[in-house]
Amino acid sequence: MKQQTPGKSFFLTIVFVVMFAEILSQNIGRQSPLYINLMEQSAYARRGFDLAYIQNTGDPITEGEWVRFKKGARVIRNAPLENLRKGSLFARRVNKVEEFTIVIPLEFGREAMEYLENGTRADVLHTAGVYFAAIGENWEVYFNGSLIRSEMHLDENGHISSHRFWRDLYLPIDKELIVEGANILAVRVLGDPALDSTGLRTRIHYIDDFRNITGQQLNYYYIALSTIFIFSAITYLLIFLFMRSRQEVNYLMFSVFSFLLCVYSLMRHGTINTIIPNSSIARLIEYLSLMLLIIAYSAFIEMSLRRKITVVSKGYFVFCAILAFTQIFILGHWGEEAIMLLDVSIFSYLCYIIFYNILYPFVFNKKRQLSEPNPNIYVSYLVMGTLIIFFCGTLEILGFMFLFNLLPFKIATLFINSTIAVQIAMTFMLSQRFGVLYNQLKQSNIMLETTVKERTRELEEQTAIAVEASQAKSEFLAMMSHEIRTPLSAVIGLSEVELQGELAEESRNNITQIYESGSSLLGIINDILDI
C-alpha cells in the first residue's frame, strides 16, 4: 500500500510561516512619540560610578575620562578603555569585579512631552518605559540621576554573589523624571570586562510607551511554541513506553529533543528572569540543554538511518562532556570564548550530520539500504529541516561576529526558531514510521485471521469425522447387542426349561454346565457392551 505523505511544499510553508511570524513579533512599533532607538544614540563609558557622573546638568558629555562606543553592542569590552582585562578559553572567572558607568544622552521633544501630558488627562495613562534586550552582570538603571531598578548582589568582600545577566528586561520610567530637551539614561554595571555579558548586549534597546513594550513582551508565539514542544515530548515518550521496544528508540530521542528544545527556548526568554533570577544557573541550563539537544538530534538521525551511533558522534559526545566539565566545575563559569568554541563545534558537527548521515547515503550511495522502507521520503524532510537549522545557526554565529549592525531583527532567535523545521521533519518521519508499523500490524492481523479461519475449518472437518465415527460405533454396538444377546438368551432360557424337568443325572449336569456357562458369557458380553 502506498503511503500518503505530506508534500514538501506543505512542509516548507509551515516552517517559513512559523519563522516569519517570529520575525514579525520582533517588529517594534514606532507609533508612540516616545520611541527612541538607544542604539542610534551616542553612548559613553568610564570606570567607576558616582551620582555626579549621571546628573542631568544640561552640559554635553565631553570625551576625557569618558570614552565613546564606536560600534557594536554597548558592552564594556567593546569600549575603548585602557587596560581592560582580556578573556581566554581557560581563564577562570575573576573574583574581584570592576565597576563601570554607561550613559546615553537622550532628547525628548515637545511632541513627546505633550503625549505624556495628554495621557494623564485621557482614560489611558501614557507612561514611558525602557527595554533592554540583554543586560548584565550586576547593574543599576538611572534616569536623570534617579534610580529606576537595582540588581546589585554583592557579598561582604565586594564580589558578585548572584549574577543578573537578564534578557528582555523592561522597566517603567516615572514621567516626572522626564524633561523636555536633554535627558540622561545611565547604567551602572559591575562585572568582568572580559565577558560579553557585562553591559548592554545585542542591538535592540529602546525607549517607548510602556504599554507598547509590555505588549511586545507578551509573546504568545513563544508560549505556543513551548506548549507544542512539551506536548510533543510527553506524547512521544508515552508512545515509546507503550511500545516497549528498543528498536523504536527514535520516539524516545524525539521526546528528549522536544523537551530540551522547550528548556532551551525558555532559558533564552525574559520569563526566566522571574523563575531563575541567578543568571549563572540559567546559562548553565541553557548551554547544557543546547549541547544535549544537538546530541539527541544526531542520535535520532543515526538510530533512524544507521541503527547505531557512529565513532564521530561518540567523540563529539566526549568533547561536549569535557568542555562542560572544565567550564562549569573547574573554571566556574561559561566563558565567552568557550561559548564561541561550542557554537563552532556545533556548526562543524552539523556539517558532519548533513553530509555523512543524510546527503551521502541519500545522494551518493544508492546501493546502501537504509533501515526504513521508502527512505528517500524520510530523508528529504531531514535534509530540508537540517539545512534550515544549519543556515540559521551559521547566520547567528556570523551575525555575532560580523553582521551585528546589518540585520533588522534579533539574530539570537534564529537558531531557536529554525529548530521548529527540524522538529516538524522529525514529526513527519516518526508519523510515517508509525504508519509503517500500523501497516505491519494490519498485515499481521490479516495473516492471523486467515490462520484462525483455516484452523477453524480443519477443526470443523475433524469434528464431523468424529461425529460420524461415534454414530457408526453406536450403530455397531446396537447391532452386536441384538445379534449376540438374542441367541445366547435362547440357549440360557432353553437350558433353564430343561433343568425344570426330570433328567438323568449325567444329562442334568451337562445342561447345568451349559446354563451356567451361558449366564457367565452373557454377563461378560453385557460388561463389554456397557463399556
CATH of residue 146: 2.60.120.260
Residue 73 binned pLDDT confidence (cut-offs 50, 70, 90): confident
Distance in angstroms (rounded) separating the CA atoms of residues 86 and 337: 11
Residue that terminates a domain, selected from 198, 217, 236: 217
Distance in angstroms (rounded) separating the CA atoms of residues 342 and 90: 14
405: pLDDT strictly greater than 50 = no
Cell numbers 460420524 correspond to 468
Round the CA-based radius of gyration of the chain to a whole number and report it.
Answer: 44
Per-residue pLDDT tens over the stretch 341-388: 777 787 788 788 877 777 776 666 544 444 444 444 456 666 777 777
275: pLDDT strictly greater than 80 = yes
Residue 48 gets the label, from left (phi > 0), alpha (psi -120 to 50) or beta, of left
By CB atoms closer than 10 A (0-12, 13-18, 19+), residue 260 is: buried
Residue 514 binned pLDDT confidence (cut-offs 50, 70, 90): confident
- What three-state secondary structure class fits 375? helix
- What three-state secondary structure class fits 95? coil
CA–CA–CA angle 334, 335, 336 (5° rounding): 120
Residue 187 binned pLDDT confidence (cut-offs 50, 70, 90): very high
CA–CA–CA angle 425, 431, 433 (5° rounding): 105
Cell numbers 506536548 correspond to 231
Question: Does residue 281 form part of some domain?
Answer: no
Question: Does residue 450 form part of some domain?
Answer: no
pLDDT at residue number 298: 84
Whole-prediction pTM: 0.72
pLDDT at residue number 288: 84
Question: Does residue 211 form part of some domain?
Answer: yes
pLDDT at residue number 173: 93
- What three-state secondary structure class fits 418? helix
Per-residue pLDDT tens over the stretch 410-422: 545 556 666 776 7
Q: Which of 68, 18, 386, 473 is nearest to 229 (CA)?
A: 18
Residues 480-500, mean pLDDT to the nearest whole number: 77
Instruction: Report how many domains make up the chain.
Output: 2
pLDDT at residue number 147: 93
Cα(first)–Cα(last) distance of the chain, in Å?
60
- What three-state secondary structure class fits 29? coil
Distance in angstroms (rounded) separating the CA atoms of residues 89 and 339: 9
Residue-number span of the structural domain to which 506 is assigned: 459-530
Contacts of residue 49, defined as CB under 8 A and 6 or more positions apart, other chains included, come to: 99, 100, 101, 188
Q: Is there a contact between 181 and 88 (Cβ–Cβ < 8 Å)?
A: no
Residue that terminates a domain, selected from 182, 202, 217: 217
Per-residue pLDDT tens over the stretch 420-450: 767 777 777 777 777 777 788 888 889 999 9
Residue that terminates a domain, selected from 159, 188, 217: 217
Residues 388-416, mean pLDDT to the nearest whole number: 58
Cell matching residue 210: 510602556
Residue 204 binned pLDDT confidence (cut-offs 50, 70, 90): confident
Question: Does residue 44 form part of some domain?
Answer: yes
- What three-state secondary structure class fits 244? coil
Cα of 75 vs its chain's centroid, Å:
32
Cell matching residue 211: 504599554
State the DSSP code for 531: -
For residue 468, whether the previous peptide bond is cis, meaning omega lies within 30 degrees of 0, is no
Distance in angstroms (rounded) separating the CA atoms of residues 344 and 123: 53
Q: Which of 183, 198, 256 is nearest to 75 (CA)?
A: 198
DSSP H or E segment with residue 426: helix 414-500
Residues 210-225, mean pLDDT to the nearest whole number: 75
Question: Does residue 297 form part of some domain?
Answer: no
Q: Which of 39, 56, 49 is nearest to 178 (CA)?
A: 56
Distance in angstroms (rounded) separating the CA atoms of residues 244 and 119: 63
State the DSSP code for 176: G
Question: Does residue 448 form part of some domain?
Answer: no
Distance in angstroms (rounded) separating the CA atoms of residues 229 and 227: 5
Q: Which of 441, 306, 286, 419 is nearest to 360 (CA)?
A: 306
The domain that holds 464 is classified in CATH as 1.10.287.130
Residues 47-62, mean pLDDT to the nearest whole number: 75
Q: Is there a contact between 232 and 423 (Cβ–Cβ < 8 Å)?
A: yes
How many beta carbons lie within 10 A of that of residue 47, not counting itself? Answer: 17
E-only strand ranges, 227-354: none
Cell matching residue 278: 541567578
Per-residue pLDDT tens over the stretch 294-307: 888 888 888 877 77
Per-residue pLDDT tens over the stretch 95-119: 568 899 999 999 998 998 888 887 6
Question: Does residue 81 form part of some domain?
Answer: yes
Question: Does residue 267 form part of some domain?
Answer: no
- What three-state secondary structure class fits 234? helix
Distance in angstroms (rounded) separating the CA atoms of residues 266 and 276: 11
